[in-house]
Structure 1
Amino acid sequence: MYLASQGADVIKVESVQRPDVWRANHTAPILGDRWMDRGLLWQATNLDKRDITLDASNDQGRALLKQLCEGADIFIENYASHVVEKQGLGYEDLKAINPGIIMVRAPSFGNEGPWKSYVGWGDVFEQVSGFATVTGYPDSRPQTPGGYMDPIVAMHLTTAIIAALEYRDRTGEGQLIEVPQSEVGMAMAGAILIADQFGYPPERPGNRAPGYAPQGVYRTGDAEKTYIALSIRDDQEWQSLIAMVGMPTLDAFAASGLKERHEHHDEIDAIILAWTLAHPANDLLSRLQSAGIPASRLLKPVDYNIEPQLVDREYYQELDHPLSGPRLFPTFPMHFSYEATRKVHSRPAPTLGQHNEEILRGELGVTEAKYADLIASNVIGTEPLQS
C-alpha cells in the first residue's frame, strides 16, 4: 500500500479458491452479503490497489500470471518456502521472461535453514523476536504487542524495493530480495539482545521505563473514562509536578532522585492518581504541558476523526467504497513538498476480482470467449468458492 499511495500500479493477485485471509478477519459473521469486501482491516490495508483473481495452481492461471510478470517491475510473494518454485514462479523462472524484474520474497523464517518450512503471522514473529518478553507487567506473563510486526515488515520491504529500483536504474539488472519476517523483528529488537549481553536481562516494565519516573497512565475526573499519560524525565520536571499536585504526601518524595522514585513508584502513582481523579483531563493537560512535562490524552478510536490536531492537519481522507459507502482513512505520516495535498489515496480497497476484466482482457488481450472459459473453470471469479 505504501508503494501504491505514491503512484505505483499495484495489482493484488488472489484466487477464488483462497482469497486473502485478511478479507475474513473477524468479519464473516457480522458483515452479511459480500462480507469478503467489507472487512475493516482489509479496506484499511489495501487502498489504491487493483485486484484480480487467478488460480496459479492451474496451467491457464499460471500462464496469465507469467504474462503479467513480463511487463512488471516487481513481483512480491510471502508464501511458505519453495511454494512459488513448485508453481514455476521462482526467481529464475521469472528472470527468464523478464530479466529486469525485481522479485521480493517475505517468508516467515527464510528460505533456508531448519525452520524454512514453518509458517507464521505477525504475533508469531513478535514472540520469536523477543518483543513479547518485554511487553506486559512485571508480575504477569509475556503479552503480544498485537500487530506491531505487520507494518514494520511492510516498511522494510518498501525500503528494499526502492534500493533495488535505484540499483536497476544504474545497472539495468533486476534482482532477488529475501526479507524473512522473523528477522525483521529480531533486527528491531536489537536493544533487547544487547542489554542481555551486558548482564541486564530484559524485564516487562508495564507503563514504566528505566530512564523516567514517575511514568504512567492515570484516570482523570471526567465523567467518561478518560485517561492521560505523563512522563517525568528529570529532577526539574519532578519538582514542577510536586508543586502542581500540591499534596503533602508527595512532598515527602521531593528530594528523591530517579532511583528512589523508581523504588517508590507504586506510592507515587497512587498520589498522582488521587490528583488526576480530582481534575478534568483538559485542565490537567494544559497545566502539565505549560510546565514542559510530556503529557497526552489517551485517544479512543471514536475520537480520532474529531481530534483538532488531526483535523487541522488533514490527516484523514474520505473514500467512497462501492459497498460500504464513505469512510475516513488515515493518510501517511510522510509529507512531500511536491504534493499539493495530503490526500494521497486514489481509490478504496478493491472488491474480490474487481479488475479481472480490466487487466486480463484490456491489458493482457484475453479474448471474450477465453475470458468466459476462465470464469466457468474457476480460474478467475469474483466470489470465493467457500464461504
Structure 2
Amino acid sequence: MSETQKPLAGLRVVELGSLIAGPFCSRILGEFGAEVVKVEAPDGGDPLRKWRKLYEGTSLWWYVQARNKKSVTANLKHPDGREFVRRLIAGADILVENFRPGVLEKLGLGWEQLQADNPGLVMVRLSGFGQSGPYKDQPGFGAVGESMGGLRYVTGFPDRPPVRTGISIGDSIAALWGAIGALMALRHREVNGGPGQVVDVALYEAVFAMMESLVPEADVFGFVRERTGNIMPGITPSNTHTTRDGKHVTIGANGDAIFRRLMLAMERPDLADDPGLADNAGRDARRDEIYGLIDAWCAARDEAEVLALLEQAEVPSSRVYSVLDMFADPQFIARQMFQSATLPDGKPFRVPGIVPRLSATPGECGAIGPALSAHTEAILAGLGYDPAQIAALRASGAI
C-alpha cells in the first residue's frame, strides 16, 4: 500500500514525550500513516531506550514503541535547540507532549506561543492530573493514575492488598484517549475550518473513565465496589478455574442459555433445569455453590479435556495465555497479530501486529524504533537549515 492510501497520510506529528503515555499515543498515529518526528534530548534520548530487556544495549520495547518514527535531538535548554523545535511544531498538525504542566510554558513552548505560530495545531497534553486543578503541578505516573482513578482499589483479592495489572495500563489508556482526542480535534478543524485546540488528558481521569458503574452505584445505593479476585459479583458464573494438570481456564457462562449448556456439559441436568438458576439473579444468589461445582469439575480434568468439552457445548472459555501460548495459537496467527521485523544486526524478531484492523487502509508496523538522532539533519534541512547552520547547531550543543 502506498503512503497516500494510509488513513493519516499527510499529517505531521511532533512528539515531545518520553517513556509510555505520549510515545504510545504518537505510535498509534504513526502506525496509520502519520509522519511522527520524535524529539529527544541529545544526552541519551528517551529513557525507554534502556528499559526492561536490552538487545545489544537497546530495549526491545523501544523498537516497538518507536516504530514508524523519526528521531531528532534538540537541547531544550539551549535557545537554538528551542528555536529548532518551535519551527518544527509550526509546520505540524499534532503535537503530543507529556511533560509536567508548566514545563513547556517556561521554555517558551506553551500553547499560546505555539498556536500563534500555527493556528491549526492540535496539542495533545498527557499528564498525571491534567492542566488545571490543585494537583496539576504534582508528578504523576501511570501507577498513580491507576490508584487515584479507582482501578487499583478493585484489582486483586479481598483478603490481600491491591495489585497492579502486570502492564502499564494507566499510561496506555491515557494514550488511547489522547489519540482519540487528537482525531476528534482534527475532524473539528476539517469540518469547521477553525483553529486547533488542546486535548487535555489526565492519567487518573483516563483510568476513571473506564470504571463502569462505579459512580452511580456509590451515589444511588452507597455501594462501594471492592476487590473480588477473578469473579464478577452480580454476574454469575464468570471466573477462572484450575485444572487437574495445574493450568488455568477462564469460563464465562453468565448468559442464561450458556449457563444451561455448561451444566449439561458438566452432566448436571438437574441444575440446567433448575428454575432458581434460570436467570442471573438466581445464579448470583447461589454463587458459592456454583463456583464450587465448577472448581471441582475442572480439578478432575486436564486443561485439554475441559476446553474441548466447553467448545463442544459452545460455552465461552479460554486457557489463560502466556506469550508462548499466543505464539502457537492459530487465531493470533490467522489475524497476523505477530509481524516480522529485523534488528539492526539483521536478526529477525517478532513484534505485535496492528490494532484496529481497517479493511481498506490498514496500518503497518514499518520501521523499528530508530537510532538516536537518526533523522536530525534531514529534518533540519527540510526546515531550511543549510549544512553550515546544522554543523553550528551540533557544535554548540543545541542538537
TM over 0.5: yes
Contact 1:253/1:261 (8 A) holds in 2: no
1:287-330 CA-to-partner distances (Å, cap 9, x unmatched) read 21222321111111112222101111222211113157322222
Alignment of 1:1-387 (within 5 A): 1-17=27-43, 19-27=45-53, 31=54, 33=56, 35=57, 38-145=58-165, 146-169=167-190, 170-199=192-221, 200-222=223-245, 225-234=246-255, 236-246=257-267, 257=277, 262=284, 265-266=287-288, 268-323=290-345, 325-339=347-361, 344-360=364-380, 362-380=381-399
Unaligned runs of 5+ in 1: 381-387
Instruction: Give the Cα separation in 2 of the matches to 1:21 and 1:185.
Output: 24
User: Which range is displaced more, 108-117 or 258-267?
Assistant: 258-267
Secondary structure in structure 1 of the residue aligned to 2:71: strand
1:71-106 CA-to-partner distances (Å, cap 9, x unmatched) read 111112111111001000011111222222222222
Would you say how many aligned residue pairs link Structure 1 and Structure 2? 368
Work out which structure has the larger RCO, using CA pairs closer than 8 Å and 6 or more positions apart in sequence. Answer: 1
Query: What displacement does 1:286 show?
Result: 2.3
Instruction: Give the Cα separation in 1 of the matches to 2:202 and 2:363.
Output: 32
Query: What displacement does 1:119 show?
Result: 1.3
Instruction: Give the Cα separation in 1 of the matches to 2:343 and 2:396.
Output: 29
* CA-atom RMSD in angstroms: 2.7
Secondary structure in structure 2 of the residue aligned to 1:188: coil
Contact 1:316/1:330 (8 A) holds in 2: yes
Instruction: Give the Cα separation in 2 of the matches to 1:271 and 1:162.
Output: 49
TM superposition score normalised by structure 2: 0.83
1:170-199 CA-to-partner distances (Å, cap 9, x unmatched) read 314222332222222222225212211122
Unaligned runs of 5+ in 2: 1-26
Contact 2:130/2:202 (8 A) holds in 1: yes
1:210-247 CA-to-partner distances (Å, cap 9, x unmatched) read 2333332223344xx53211022145544433343348
Query: What displacement does 1:202 show?
Result: 0.7
**What is the identity percentage for the equivalent residue pairs of Structure 1 and Structure 2?**
32
AA in 1 matched with 2:36: V
Secondary structure in structure 1 of the residue aligned to 2:324: helix
Residue 385 (structure 1) aligns with: none
Secondary structure in structure 1 of the residue aligned to 2:213: helix
Secondary structure in structure 2 of the residue aligned to 1:179: strand
Instruction: Give the Cα separation in 2 of the matches to 1:101 and 1:285.
Output: 52
AA in 2 matched with 1:71: G
TM superposition score normalised by structure 1: 0.85
